[in-house]
Structure 1
């Protein structure tokens, strides 16, 4: 089994980076191979320039990271996405990853016909989307549009051929600095979440 990991956060000291470390430790322990796409560390440019746009209709690219990333996705059996939620949705870097890496054409990421979008990434049997935010999951789902479940997972990933997706969210990511009771409570809560990720059974 081989897993593609998309990681989207610029700071190594973030909770997201700690989640990434727990995910890779989990996969290592179970002997699961993976390819890591660390968008910020790799220097990925999440936008189209004129040449990239010129190549769009042919499914081509002049960005070697696009070729590399799409190759990882096509070779994988499952997908793990690790990202914060900023302003109610995924960051621009991750949106740009979808915009630029997902190329139309047979043997790429998807095809389009009069009948709609057909995903070419059906090899990705399941996606796990691990998010963090200052907001709890209930707020995001019921009061904030539920963009991750309805759009990112329910539309975008589905259109690419990913049939099953699981969303794991950790909210209230704030106030952990200092020695007060609240800060200690938040740090303990974060530690429990990291342990959950470290020991969870990823099923693809």
Structure 2
């Protein structure tokens, strides 16, 4: 399988960085082809400037700095996102990736009658998510109703067409758990991506 991994955390020595490394290692050990993007390390600019916005609906006007991301997205059969949950959502750099790369003419088509958008990423058959949360499970799931998960699985996954299989793994209360619990979650990530 061809997998595009998107990693979004600023610290190379973070717990999430180790999870990202395990994901990539597990996928490659399975024999998958992997294009791995570390958005912070690559200096991805999440801000859409006015001139880009004006050409946003024209697929022939993809900015040069985005072409490598667009090419990987169109090449992939699966996308994996590895990021911390901050303020109940994804980091700005990853949100900017979706804003700028999953654009009209690439990820979806806008009908002329302003009807529902039509999915274009029919090449994507699987979506994986690994995230960590500082908040406890009950706060994220019960009180906030997991808005980050809704954006990815009810929103973005739907422009990949029907029948896309997904995997969503979240480690809650990440700042207060023991090293043993961190390792248990890391092993669970490896196990689940081994059969992704």
Same fold (TM over 0.5): yes
How big is the shift at 1:8? 0.5
SS at match of 2:178: helix
Q: 1:99: how far off?
A: 0.4
Asked whether the 8 Å contact 1:137–1:169 carries over to 2, the reply is no
Specify every segment of 5 or more residues in structure 2 that has no aligned partner in the other structure, as ranges: none
1:61 aligns with 2:59: no
CA contact (8 A) 2:171 2:185 kept: yes
Cα RMSD (Å) of the superposition?
A: 1.8
Match of 2:182 in 1: 190
Compute the displacement of 1:26 (Å). 0.5
The question of 1:86 aligning with 2:82 is answered no
Distance 1:55 1:48 in 2: 11
Distance verdict in 2 for CA 1:10–1:119, change over 3 Å: same
1:186 Cα deviation (Å)?
Answer: 0.9
Q: Give, in whole Å, the separation in 2 of the partners of 1:97 and 1:36.
A: 14
| Residue 107 of structure 2: aligned partner | 109
1:124 is paired with a residue of what secondary structure? Answer: coil
CA-to-aligned-CA distance 1:73-110 (integer Å, 9 cap, x gap):
111111110010001111111111110111212xx111
Matches of 2:72 and 2:137, distance apart in 1? 30
Per-residue CA distance 1:140-180 (angstroms, 9 max, x = gap) = 121113212322211122134373322110111114xxxxx
Tell me if structure 1 keeps the 8 A contact 2:121–2:159: no
Q: Which runs of 5+ in 1 are unaligned?
A: 176-184
Q: 1:31 to 1:164 in 2, by over 3 A?
A: closer
Cα distance in 2, alignment partners of residues 78 and 198 from structure 1: 16
Distance 1:33 1:202 in 2: 14
Q: Which residue of 1 aligns with 2:36?
A: 36
Asked if 1:174 corresponds to 2:175, the answer is yes
User: Which is worse superposed, 126-135 or 137-146?
Assistant: 137-146
